[in-house]
Amino acid sequence: MLTWHYGRKWQLLVYAIAALFYSMMNVGVAYCLTILIQAASARSMAQLVQAVVPSLLIFLGASVANWLVMFLKAVITRRVNLNIKARMAAYLIDDADLVSTQSSALSFMTNDLKMIETNGIASELAIINQLIIFGGAMIGAFTFDWMTALAFFLGNLIPLTVSRVARKGLHRASKDWSTANGHWTSGIKNYLAGRDTIRIYQAQAVVKTRINRLARGLEDQLKKMTVLTGSMNTLGMLLALWFGVLAPFGIGIYRVMIGASTLALFMGIVQLSNDMRNPLIMIIEAMNQWQTTKPLVAKIKQAQLRDASTAEKPITTGPIVLKDASVTLGKQKIFDSRNLTIKPGQKVLIMAPSGYGKSTLLRLLIGELPLASGQYYLGNAQITAATRTQLSHLFGLIKQTPFMFDDTIRFNLTLGGHFSQTALDKAVADAGLTALIAQKGWDYQVGEEGHHLSGGQIQRLEIARALLRQRPILLADEVTSALDEKLSDQLHTRLLQSPATLIEVAHHISQSWQQRYDQVIQLDVDAKAG
């Protein structure tokens, strides 16, 4: 259960107690009905007055109990939602495979988690509440007239059987909808990002057709799931009316006619029958809705969430060694049987045309990509899928296409970390950002994806971000592609003078600069020592 696994168990226990109190009050309401009918049958004003006072108190108690159930439902839902979102956010930020697209993660964190709340958490709480109401009603009804109560009970069991038969179909429909929703989110994100290209090459008609096709696919799956759920609910309700109302009513009236029961007791059971029939109908609906969340809950369970209390021993720096390393993305082999040895402090330049896996090699080194075959060693530790998340504290990375957060220059540089002002000033000076800071200030908002900065300023901010942390291994991916020649030379001088191990990839660097590296590796030919 989501509410048990991700919520606070004591809150769920209090919720059950509140539901039990509400169920007892419902039995009390039925009791009030019987004594009022008895007073009417006896034509006794004294009995009527005696019935009114406890009725007022019981009705008040029922209202208070109903409010408690509602309040605790909101409290539990909030707690479970926060726990699931925190765990999934931690998984996506810390451990999730960066190769997979962001759209699927975005879809899960928005649409799918909302569906888990409405169809999962709410359904579980409804099932608990309605089961307790049903149980209380059964006990009260059996106290009034056990045979009539048994007729209501047996008649209300039939819809549950139909619900169990319907679950597999609902599970498939939910899975198909989740897949279609992921395709829709991914497609919309893709086409919106490329609107300028679409307009320039007048591809609007084709793209709109594709968007409409994605929309139809999503809505068709939603319609299928909704109709199937509604059909099962309708059939369950019909069976409940036949066997849960008509048949037991006939039995109860017959028992009154033969003198085995009284009209007052029968009316009390009729009042409680609502708390037998309606909870069963609501349980059926809730179970059907809960079934639609199983594929989504499976995604949460599959997330490899790390326990902070059992943190892994960090890997220390040392020689970087690749032995017969191969990397595959999908069915495409990016590079095969690559061997590489880099000693601490060495400066290594990796060159090749586009498509030879230069950036892929960097992603492998920092643990973003797993090896398809071969071995990767850092120091004395072999890096595997289980250990690659421990590498982040060793590497600084200057990306060819940096990402800027919609925040201040200071945050984009520090990412919320604490650094001395001296360290900050040195990092921006080494990256050539002193003039920008003097002009805009540390609290200047860079805008979404850095839209308020030029390409060169974004690249230099990425460089400063890496230099600030002084990691023992620095990876540079086309680091000077957006810089002029003067600033490019200054940066290369700074990087080559650093004590850190430097691994830089580039399309082209002049021969004079190549001579300053300890190794120059051409990925499109056999690796060679510089």
CATH number at residue 143: 1.20.1560.10
Residues 155 and 278 reside in one and the same domain = yes
Q: Which pLDDT band, with edges at 50, 70 and 90, does 529 fall under?
A: very low
Which CATH number fits the domain that encloses residue 478? 3.40.50.300
Span 502-525, mean pLDDT?
85
| Residue 422 banded pLDDT, cuts 50, 70, 90 | very high
Q: Both 270 and 328 in a single domain?
A: no
Stretch 185-208: mean pLDDT: 86
pLDDT in tens, 99-138: 555 667 777 777 778 888 888 888 889 889 888 988 888 8
Q: Are residues 343 and 275 in the same domain?
A: no
So what's the pLDDT on residue 441?
A: 92
Sign, CA dihedral 259-263-264-268, equals positive
Domain boundary among 276, 302, 328: 302
pLDDT-based confidence at residue 14 (cuts at 50, 70, 90): very high
Amino acid at 529: A
Locate 399 and state its tokens: 């990306």
Compute the average pLDDT of residues 421-446.
Answer: 91
Note whether 396 and 451 are same-domain residues: yes
Same domain, yes or no: 275 and 374: no
- Does 294 share its domain with 327? no
The pLDDT value recorded for residue 95 is 66
Distance CA 83, CA 86 (A): 5
**pLDDT band with cut points at 50, 70 and 90 for residue 199:** confident
Q: Are residues 155 and 244 in the same domain?
A: yes
Side-chain half-sphere CA neighbours of 150 within 13 A = 4
Total domain count for the chain?
A: 2
Q: Which residue has tokens 């958490």?
A: 121
Residue 402 placed within a domain: yes
* pLDDT at 401 > cutoff 60: yes
Indicate if 264 and 359 belong to the same structural domain: no
Q: Which residues contact 317 (CB under 8 A, 6 or more apart)?
A: 344, 378, 379, 394, 472, 473, 501
Name the least confident of 338-342, 356-360, 415-419: 356-360
- Residue 98's domain comprises 2-173+234-302
pLDDT mean across residues, the chain? 82
Domain boundary among 248, 271, 302: 302
CA gap 321, 22 in Å, rounded: 67
**Taking Cα atoms as reference points, which of 479, 494, 316 lies closest to residue 394?**
316
Comparing 99 with 175, which gets the higher pLDDT? 175
Phi/psi zone of residue 202: left (φ > 0), alpha (ψ -120 to 50 degrees), beta?
A: left
The Cα–Cα gap between 514 and 366 comes to: 24
Sheet of 320-329, strand order:
332-342, 320-329, 373-378, 381-382
Same domain, 444 and 325: yes
Same structural domain for residues 435 and 349?
A: yes
Residue with tokens 């086309």: 478
Taking the model in full, what pTM does it have? 0.59
> CB-based contacts of 405: which residues, under 8 Å, 6+ apart?
411, 412, 415, 446
Q: Are residues 130 and 168 in the same domain?
A: yes
Q: Which of 242, 274, 302 is the last residue of a domain?
A: 302
For the chain, state the CA radius of gyration. Answer: 34
Do the beta carbons of residue 119 and residue 296 sit within 8 Å? no
Residues 297 and 341 in one domain: no
